[in-house]
Structure 1
Amino acid sequence: MRARDFWAQAGALPVRPLDEILAPGGVLVLAPHADDESLGCGGLIAASLAAGRALRVVFLSDGAASHPDHPGAALRDRREAEALEALRRLGAGPEAASFLRLPDSRVPDTGAAFRQAVDRIGAIAADIDAGTVLATWGGDPHCDHQACAAMQAALPPGRRHLAYPVWGHALPGETVLPQPPRGAWLDITRWLPEKRAAVQAHRSQLGDLPGGFALDATMLARAERPAELYLQA
């Protein structure tokens, strides 16, 4: 299936309530970088917290590759502080965040470091009795996002696995994808102000730092949509 057809069909997927999209129990969100959680599933995070669900966000990479002109440790600390502020704006305290500090743009998808990360994620999932684990979509054209999806797939069975696309819409229209989209949309109209505020907390990714990455207008406009897409992983 061509990517353009995939996204056309994804647009026609049904809107479902939160409790149909998520399995019972806690919610574990895997984010390759600080900002992916806000862009891809900020509305779901806010809605889950408001519903009283246990929730944890695991940030996989240290985020230190986004701005090569800035010292890695300082950039890492800034991005972690931004992540905590974003979660606060969504309704979560600092205890909801875990930082694995894997190398940005080199998050492992095999090997010993990969297995150690999967084991840590599995322990966090057990700690909050997670019924659902969300990760970036494996079709996102970024190696860290694909590694995130691989970590989700490597977890022990028994939980619902959902994927949230962040960069997938940037795929060339003729890219061949293996199967049609399956999943649902979550109406986040109620939570859109919180999501918008969370995205704005990631100031380093919005042009505040020179000489590096900045989210473009297309990505920011997509984050303003009143619904979020969750695909079956």
Structure 2
Amino acid sequence: MSSLEFSRADRLLVVAPHPDDETLACGELIQCALAAGASVRVLLASDGDDNPWPQRWLERRVWIGAAARRRWGERRRAEALAALEVLGAGAIEVRCLGWPDQGLTRALLADDAAVTLLAAELGTFAPTQLVMPALADRHPDHSALHVALALALLRTRLPCRCLRYGVHGGSGPTGTPLPSAPPRLQRKLAALACHASQLALSRRRLLAIAQRPEWFDLAAAPAADSAKALAEPVTLRLTAQARWPLRHELLVLAASADGSVSRIRAPLGLPGRTPFAIDTGAVTLRLQGGDLQLARTGSTSPLVAVWAKLHRSEPRLIVFDRDGWQQAEA
């Protein structure tokens, strides 16, 4: 399928990293699905609680403690629920996971909990169409959520179509555009107005995003028993460069056909200065310059997908990635 069309048989699951992404990226698409009679559910990964500058401005505070952050997250969740009420008039199911804002990369690398929960959500709703962030989105929460969903799809093997959106992109829109319609756009802008906390400091930027056409890269999720083994050693060309003296980490996730995932998070200092090698017992890694090679050592199950990133270590003053995840797949 190459068009953005829906029917009554469709079940559309929209996964948003933060409150407002559901409106900015998919406000018109959601309306199209509802108009066709499709079932729509929105999954909010985080409450957007780590969003300090608008909170400082609106609450006239400098220090933001844990209680203030929770209160801000509650406000942003309520704004998202109000926006979805505008878009769907009560016809949209909403699930809120409450994951840490600006913490999805840590959650992805920590253990299997995030992937397990997403797999359960996919299995419960059984979407025919899954709307998810693009891997190339420059916000690390967006790209990390993409990887977590890709791993969940490999586990569940749901026969759905994936529609991947970018909110914070550096290379312009790609894929298939959804033609905008004035009534849908006006309702989308009314929904965006519910996100008052975000409009306080970023009105012009968010309105510009909301008024551009919605673009989606379309792809089929892996069908049951169809994952192809990667040729080993898997080679990835990492694009990150050391542009200033900040600490970096090598992040790697390697998925095997048996459902297991190897997670590697290793400090590097300045990337590209010295060769780097590691053996986890399950996989071996070698990084020299920008070339990363990976191969199995302790598993007989072949690799079916690998993601790697040279990640600026936290805490970070600048949220957005300059260089993001690279993916190898058959």
Q: TM-score normalised by the shorter chain: which range applies?
A: 0.7 to 0.9
> What is the aligned partner in structure 2 of residue 77 from structure 1?
74
The Cα offsets for residues 106-163 of structure 1, whole Å up to 9 and x where unpaired, read as 1122332xx3333333333333331111111111111101111112211233221121
> What is the aligned partner in structure 2 of residue 101 from structure 1?
98
Contact 1:54 1:128 in 2 (8 A): no
Query: CA 1:103/1:77 → structure 2, altered by over 3 Å: closer, same or farther?
Result: same
Partners of 1:104 and 1:17 in 2: how far apart?
Answer: 30
199, 210, 225: which one pairs with 1:206? 199
Partners of 1:140 and 1:77 in 2: how far apart?
Answer: 25
With structure 2 as the length reference, what TM-score do the two structures score? Answer: 0.55
With structure 1 as the length reference, what TM-score do the two structures score? Answer: 0.76
> What is the aligned partner in structure 1 of residue 177 from structure 2?
185
> What is the aligned partner in structure 2 of residue 166 from structure 1?
167
Bigger proportion of residues as strand? 2
Please say if 1:232 is aligned against 2:221. no
The Cα offsets for residues 8-33 of structure 1, whole Å up to 9 and x where unpaired, read as xxxxxxx94423xx995201111000
The equivalences for 1:59-78 within 5 A come to 59-67=44-52, 69=56, 70=64, 71-78=68-75
> What is the aligned partner in structure 1 of residue 26 from structure 2?
41
Which entry has the higher C-alpha Rg, 1 or 2?
2
Q: Which runs of 4+ in 1 moved over 6 A?
A: none
User: Secondary structure of the equivalent of 1:47?
Assistant: helix
User: Secondary structure of the equivalent of 1:18?
Assistant: coil
Measured on the aligned residues, the alpha-carbon RMSD in Å equals 2.6
* Shift in Å, 1:198: 1.1
Partners of 1:32 and 1:23 in 2: how far apart?
Answer: 27
> What is the aligned partner in structure 2 of residue 110 from structure 1?
109
User: Secondary structure of the equivalent of 1:96?
Assistant: strand
116, 119, 133: which one pairs with 2:116? 119
Where does the alignment leave 5 or more consecutive residues of structure 1 unmatched?
1-14, 174-179, 208-213
Contact 2:8 2:37 in 1 (8 A): no
Contact 2:10 2:129 in 1 (8 A): yes
214-223 or 57-66: which moved more? 214-223
RCO greater where, 1 or 2, for CA within 8 Å and sep 6 or more? Answer: 1
Contact 2:45 2:99 in 1 (8 A): yes
User: Secondary structure of the equivalent of 1:123?
Assistant: helix
Partners of 1:131 and 1:162 in 2: how far apart?
Answer: 11
Partners of 1:195 and 1:28 in 2: how far apart?
Answer: 18
